[in-house]
Structure 1
Amino acid sequence: MTQYAAIIYSHDGDWTSPEEAETTKAYAEFSENQAAVIRGGAALHPTSTATVVKVAGGRGGDVLTTDGPFVEAREVLSGFYLIEADDLDSAVAIAAQIPGAWDGAVELRPVIQFG
């Protein structure tokens, strides 16, 4: 079986707020229904809580940080699942059930297994 990162792009919401209760319930149902193939995952706080880190001049250079989102976008990285599937078609079928795919997008990327 192959592991896939199911990277969720959706609106920039605060998943802990009461306004997102219906959506978080849908994610809980997905997680329960797909527990056999989920190997990990997490929701992310809104982009307003982000800190962007860069190293000027490459390794060993000055560390620069910027608060908040790097770019304005309608859809942002809002969370991910690590899923296991027999093949890409199976992974697509699973990803289509992630609520973020209904009004945003889910990017599937095979995971490289080191060691």
Structure 2
Amino acid sequence: MTFNKLQYLQEEYDKLHIEGKTNFIENARFCLMADQYDYKNYHSNGKLTESEFYSVVDLLYELDNLNMLISFVVRNIKVLLQEVDGIESLKPFLEKAVIDEATFLTRINTFLQKQKNC
């Protein structure tokens, strides 16, 4: 008796509830399309280099695999934070705000008023 991979996948797919089918398909597509390098890096719990991180991100984006992309980015957020930390022009955006509550509320109110007028 030979093992029919397609039949096996179809049987496993049929066992799933509707919510799980999209995730199953996305995982299957990633397994088929990823080379050994990206597949290993996706499942790695170690610290990835920027090139390893972006290689997996690019593949997941290319496959339009947003569920796995979100999961991967969240697990490896330190890579992005280190990159952002190294960009001098972003430093002011990362600093803690030092305005008081009244000024903040005034600015929010001004913004909302402009939005209503648009």
State the TM-score, normalizing by the size of structure 2: 0.31
Normalized per residue, the structure richer in strand is 1
Bigger share in helix: 2
Comparing both chains, which one has the higher relative contact order based on Cα–Cα distances under 8 Å and sequence gaps of 6 or more? 1
Higher gyration radius (CA): 2
